[in-house]
Amino acid sequence: MSIHVSLGDRSYPVHFQSLRTLPERMAERGLRPNDSSRCLLVSDENVAAHYRSPVTTALENAGWTVRPHIVAPGEASKSYEPLRAIYDEALRWGIDRGTPVVALGGGVVGDLAGFAAATLLRGLPLVQCPTSLLAQVDASVGGKTAVNHPTGKNLIGAFYQPHLVCADPDTLDTLPMREWTSGSAEMVKHALIGSPELLSFLEDHLVGVLARKDREAFTTAIERAVRIKAEVVAEDERESGRRAILNFGHTFAHAIEKVAGYGAFTHGEAVAVGMRAALHLSHRRHPEALNRDRLDAVVQAIPVEGDPGALNPGALFEAMQADKKNRGDTVRFVLLRSLGDAYLTGDVSEHELREAWRFACSEPHASRP
């Protein structure tokens, strides 16, 4: 099963296949060991423990000379020193412009290795092999690469599309359950902003998908979610307009992460709470077109550890304002006109925000299965 991301001469396929087929998929995109036999494999310690060996073996059997570069797991690796370590290793090893960079891991590895690929020798071929649910449904597709700066997340980066994405659903078996939840929130988000059909599908298979028990259902849901992401990116590669709808729930989520302290909630947990607030704001404006409680039931089923209601709403609104200053514009919210029809607005009063926040914290999320 494959999906095509249509971006003119930067188009590429997203394969849902075993990583053992990676060398063939690379060859189909012109990445063969006769151009440059070197291949740089970037991963993190957790992912490498499971998948470094089979991926290296498959590449070596196809004639590649593989240099693994393993970083520490976690967001701290998306920063300058780990990036510089990749530059140092790659340049001392003697890469050339045909040397592919294979990013094997979650969104952290994808963003870090992606930015390294974008900048080394003015651009090396990039192969995304996402192993977390969040990376499979979201981060590996669309070409955003970045590292963080002490003043904020993702401030040093580039739009740089991969040559291909190879997402192996089997790698999700070893993903910690809380990370699974985090990715589920982004999958639900894609359904809300882009596909009433995916939302109905998720409603029908909600328990099996959230508990990672119904393999057929979650594989189908992942593929459909990627299709939505691919469509949005194809319309607006550089986020000059429509692509911003992928931030549904994120205005609140970024503030939640900041006020609670990074790591207290996973990004997906914060997005789940933020989507409830955004649903409330959307319903207030479009009560006829939107069945808030139906949609909220799906979001509320996403387990969230910790109590967002314990956060100070004043601090949250302040954090939203600070974020606005960083970006030099107004605080913007993505709202739904109806299911699958999202738009951007800056026109939300503090009274509405307080009301939406009360709704988001009104009933607890489901607990972990």
Q: Which of 56, 161, 181, 182 binds ligand NAD (CB under 6 A)?
A: 182
- Annotation says 239 is catalytic: yes
Q: Is 249 in the site for ligand NAD (CB under 6 A)?
A: no
The closest residue (CB) to ligand NAD is: 107
75 binds ligand NAD (CB under 6 A): yes
Q: Measured from the CB of residue 132, what is the shortest distance to ligand NAD in angstroms?
A: 3
Q: Binding marks (x or -) toward ligand NAD, 40..59, rule CB under 6 A?
A: ----x-xx--x---------
Write down the least CB distance from residue 130 to ligand NAD, Å. Answer: 7
- Beta-carbon count within 10 A of 180 CB: 21
Q: Which positions from 258 through 297 interact with ligand NAD, judged by CB under 6 A? A: none
Based on the shown chain and the rule CB under 6 A, indicate whether residue 33 belongs to the binding site for ligand NAD: no
> How near is the Cβ of 198 to ligand NAD at its closest, in Å?
18
Here's the x/- map for ligand NAD, 151-170, by CB under 6 A: it reads as ---x----------------
Residue 50 or 324 having the CB closest to ligand NAD: 50
Least distance CB 268 / ligand NAD (angstroms): 7
Choose, from 15, 78, 250, 280, the residue flagged as catalytic.
250
Question: Could you tell me the smallest distance in angstroms from the CB atom of residue 241 to ligand NAD?
Answer: 17
* Both structure tokens of 295: 């949609």
Q: Which stretch binds ligand NAD (CB under 6 A): 25-33, 74-82, 278-286, 323-331?
A: 74-82
The footprint of ligand NAD on residues 104-133 (CB under 6 A) is 105-109, 111, 131-132
Binding site for ligand NAD (CB under 6 A): 44, 46-47, 50, 73-75, 78, 105-109, 111, 131-132, 134-135, 138-139, 142, 144, 154, 171, 174-175, 179, 182
Catalytic residues: 122, 144, 186, 229, 239, 243, 247, 250, 254, 267
